[in-house]
Amino acid sequence: MTEVLEFDDAGLDTWSDEETFEVLRERLVEYAQATNDPIAAHLDGDVASPVFAIVPVFESLLVPAVDVMPVELIPRVVHGEQDFHFHRPIRPGDKLVSRGKMTGYEGLENGTRATILLECRTEDGELVNEQYVTTFVRGFNAGKKIGVLSPSHKFDPALREGAPIAKIVQHFDEDQTFRYAPAAGDPMPIHLDEEVARDAGLPGIIGHGLCTMAFASWGVLTEVGGSDVNRLRRFAVRFSKMVIPGDDLETRIWRVGTENGVTTYAFETARGDDFVITDGLAEIAD
């Protein structure tokens, strides 16, 4: 008899145990260097680059998934979208506490997308950031929609009728994944071992999606944010296609509008004719 796999709805909206993380200046420097970040404050470790925010919460990410998803499906899970909501930047010396929970999922013909909410605070309770992680379970339809999914950050195709206000060209180095993995604490072998990657059906070693997102973040900050991470309020992307070491990337940015002293920008990151990041959204305080 074939076992029927089902999501366990009892695990929804249940916070995981708290994880702690002490922020060292050296770790901030290592992360900035591993993502080719040119912003001086990041390279000096005075303040964390935006996507470093995933590092303190990384241990809180898996537990909500296994609380709801059958463990047999975990190997099919890919990172679909990432949406950071910043209350303040991370700084050296911070002692951070994080937790996570799955808030909802939706079965689709080709798989199931699910949202995990991560929360990061200081040990004194100050909210530092919230993160919505959209995972996608390939080839498994959970058969229903339940709970709350991540907030929308869709790119308006009409923006392409006008020229972007900025473009930045970046190069993904041949050794990028080997530098990023220890800096981020993400040692998945598809990013480090050619044979493992090919056995998984990939063309070879692929880049970490969050490393590509980090490239886009400093590109946006340098072009339209005055290289000041303190102004960044939200940064969201959809991971569209894999990046291969050696790739040349171009991030294109459009201004959407300003409201209540915050300007919204839409962006995409391409490798030639292929988009590796879509539905990019940045909110930057004026």
- Per-residue DSSP letters for 86-152? ESS---TT-EEEEEEEEEEEEEETTEEEEEEEEEEEETT--EEEEEEEEEEEET---SSEEE--PPP
CB–CB of 231/217 below 8 Å?
no
Task: Provide CATH 3.10.129.10 ranges for the chain.
Answer: 1-151, 152-286
Q: Give residue for tokens 């463990």.
A: 71
Tens of pLDDT, residues 130-166: 999 999 998 999 999 999 999 999 999 999 999 999 9
Phi and psi at 91, nearest 5°, equal -130, 155
Phi and psi at 207, nearest 5°, equal -75, 150
**pLDDT range class, residue 190, cuts 50, 70, 90:** confident
Q: Would you identify the CATH topology of the domain 152-286?
A: Thiol Ester Dehydrase; Chain A (3.10.129)
According to the CATH classification, is domain 1-151 in 2.170.190.11? no
pLDDT digits (tens, 9 = 90+) for 71-117: 898 888 889 999 999 999 999 999 999 999 999 999 999 999 999 99
Using the 8-state DSSP alphabet, how is residue 69 labeled? Answer: S
| Separation of alpha carbons 112 and 114, rounded Å | 6
Distance, in Å, from the CA atom of 221 to the CA atom of 34, rounded to the nearest integer, reads 17
